[in-house]
Amino acid sequence: MKLSAPVYRLKRKAKLLSRQENIPHHEALDRIARKEGFEAWSLLVAKSAAAAPACKLYTRLAPGDLVLVGARPGQGKTLLSLEFALEAMKSGKRAVFFTLEYTRKDVIDRFRVLGAELADFDGLFAFDNSDGISADYIVKALDDAPDGTLVVIDYLQLLDQKREHPDLMVQVRRLRAFARDRGLVLVFISQIDRSYDPSTKPCPDLSDVRLPNPLDLSLFDKTCFLGKGDIHFQAAT
């Protein structure tokens, strides 16, 4: 059953209903749930969580994590990364999206696909598509980012595209140290090598990550690969 609005909006409707009718908040939540076809709010939340893998996966991310999200084009890696950002904002955390690929309008449209309006998260989301994006640039831009901020970097392979930027390994190591020192979650969207064959392996893995320059992939704490509608999430051992 599809909800009429995202859970966070339904929560706001319940809060308003509680004030308007002077009823307990839990009663307002249950009343909203019944309008959505559920007997109780707890059932609505459980159903919503089951239908949203990003919600479950977000709870497995921790401050200081470097997360690699990889897939071939069209498999939803950018959308999943934005879902992580959305989950962070729902919990009151900030989210930042660095990209060399998308415009702000593109990102707004993708949030709408997820049933969210950026206007509902005023002050929690930042967008940056500067041509100068690199580890140094990102560290400077996040100078005042509070603990728990989720950062999406779109995408990994573009960090050292310019000759004047340090090697990719150097940049990722700096970002790793920065994330751990400041308690940030850094999500790197990654390309998959063209040699990857989905007919022989439904979902890519670390061995399929496109690396035009050397990079120690063990620097990433968690990986998330998408293929043929499946999501393979793994924490480093």
- Does the pLDDT value for residue 141 go beyond 70? yes
Q: What is the pLDDT of residues 169-227, one digit of tens each?
A: 999 999 999 999 999 999 999 999 999 999 999 999 999 999 989 999 999 999 999 98
pTM (predicted TM-score): 0.81
Q: Write out pLDDT tens, residues 57-93.
A: 999 999 999 999 999 998 889 989 999 999 999 999 9
- When the candidates are 3.40.50.2000, 3.30.499.10, 3.30.565.10, 3.40.50.300, the CATH number that belongs to 54-235 is 3.40.50.300
The domain ranges of the chain are 7-51, 54-235
What secondary structure does DSSP assign to the chain, as a single string? ---SS-HHHHHHHHHHHHHHHT--HHHHHHHHHHHTT-SSHHHHHHHHHHH-HHHHHHTT--TT-EEEEE--TTSSHHHHHHHHHHHHHHTT--EEEEESS--HHHHHHHHHHTT--GGGGTTTEEEE--TT-SHHHHHHHTTTPPTT-EEEEE-GGGTT-STTSPPHHHHHHHHHHHHHHHT-EEEEEE-B-TT--TTT-SS--GGGB--SS---GGG-SEEEEEETTEEEEEE--
Q: What pLDDT is stored for residue 50 in this prediction?
A: 61
